[in-house]
Amino acid sequence: MTEPRLPTGLPARRAALDLLAAALSHRAGLEDDSAAPGLAGLEPRDRAFARILVLTALRRLGPLDRALDARIPRPPPEIVRNILRLGAVQALVLGAPPHAAVSASVDLAESLPEARRFKGLVNAVLRGLIREPPDLSDPEALAPSWLLARWSAAFGRPSALSVAAVIAGEPDTDLTLRGDPGALTEALELTQVAADTWRTSRRGEVSAWEGFAEGRWWVQDASAAVPARLLNPRPGLTVLDLCAAPGGKTLQLAAAGAEVTALDRSQGRLHRVRENLERTGLTAEVIAADAGTWDDGRTFDAVLLDAPCSATGTFRRNPDVLWAVKPGDIAALAGAQARLLDAAARRVRPGGRLVYCVCSLEPEEGEGQVAGFLKRCADFALDPIALGEGGAPPGSRLEDGTLRILPTHRAGGADGFFIARFARRPNRRARRDLAQAAGAAKSEA
């Protein structure tokens, strides 16, 4: 028996409902089409609508739930709550005609056996919210309370609230360009952010934008572009990019002429790295292996470790991370990061450099890693990052020369990042050779 044809617009809303449920239950991320089987069969416009609907709901989830709880005496099934979340953001944030948003939400409830008996509740609650619109941009409610408390302890209450306020906004797209943008400046409405990072407010499928097919640029947040620059990549420099996927930093290093080895444990994620290398015409050695147990004796002039983390700094494009991460995850991730840092250190040749970074706002994953690493690896020292070096916002530099980039450090927002650079001391033989070379040069002078 075939499923009856759904009213116009309902398939997209059903797909959005599945995608929201998958994101909140941590079954899949927003980029995983398998999370919502109906997505694949939608027209591009409807697929984009479903995604923006879910992203908007996740960006306002805290205030939304506060408003819903005030109007619903007993918690309804989660699917009904999700219908209400999606209906509310259509009417209150995305500008849909109120009657259309209510009607579509009631139709959605009617189409689902488990929600059908709640269609009256959906109608009443949404009409009430439209009559008395709640504040869906209150920074006190935008982040989970436990995360806001952590950020307040780390950065101070005013800064934490400013960071939380960024959650509600839809971000622009940052691109890393190869060479002069030329006509792309006008075609993509670009403004320069830092060095080779440019920003556009353009929306839509990026693969259809000018210059994409020709490999002129790739999508990369302004913060994520900083770590690779701090290694001063150049022709002849050997660089190991650990946990490399999706590959933006690999592309940066290769574009600068470095000899790059990109390593990641996920063969699937490395497929995207290979695709981007092919599209841009750049070359790198790509290896699928666990960074902690990789069986290869090579050392490199420079190593870049973008470690797996809670990713709370990426909430502008991935608001689901705020609701997916739990307090216990941060301690577990910090332990894994320490092990990866030690493995990365073993790959740095004497006299070489190591850059460690995480797209996290949590101190245990950033600042907390530095002292422990220096204690464990006595032949490394912090290599302080200069003010503004690598295109980092000046306000991000900490006293010890590491970087703590907050989403508020750039006009228009940026991903939150922590970045530290270390230098490995030369071994005794290397120090002796350097001293002899310096003596010889002095004699010749």
For 161, the token pair is: 């609230």
Give, in degrees to the nearest 5, the angle at Cα 42 between 277 and 199. Answer: 45
Active site residue 359: yes
- Under a CB-based contact definition with an 8 Å cutoff, are residues 184 and 217 in contact? yes
Q: List the one residue out of 286, 325, 284 whose CA is nearest residue 308.
A: 325
Rounded CA-CA distance 418/161 in Å is: 19
3-state SS class at 140: helix
Rounded CA-CA distance 369/91 in Å is: 45
**Helical residues (DSSP H) of 304-376, grouped into ranges:** 321-324, 327-345, 367-376
Torsion of CA 233, 234, 236, 241, to 10 degrees: 20
Q: What is the biggest distance separating any 2 CA atoms in the chain, rounded to whole angstroms?
A: 93
Question: Catalytic residue among 243, 309, 357, 359, which?
Answer: 359
Find the helix or strand (DSSP H, E) in which 10 lies.
helix 10-24
- Under a CB-based contact definition with an 8 Å cutoff, are residues 241 and 250 in contact? yes
Burial of 211 (0-12, 13-18, 19+ CB in 10 A): middle
Q: Helix, strand, coil: what percent of the chain each, to 5?
A: 50, 15, 40
For 300, the token pair is: 């490199």
Radius of gyration of the chain (CA): 25
- Under a CB-based contact definition with an 8 Å cutoff, are residues 242 and 291 in contact? yes
**Helical residues (DSSP H) of 72-144, grouped into ranges:** 78-92, 98-110, 119-131, 139-142
HEC assignment per residue over 159-185: HHHHHHHHHHCCCCEEEEECCCCCCHH
For 258, the token pair is: 């470095």
Indicate the DSSP class of residue 397: B
CA atoms within 13 A on the CB side of 424: 24
For 252, the token pair is: 């940066």
- Under a CB-based contact definition with an 8 Å cutoff, are residues 425 and 379 in contact? yes
Residues near 207 by Cβ (< 8 Å), separated by ≥ 6?
A: 213
Could you give the residue numbers annotated as active site? 359
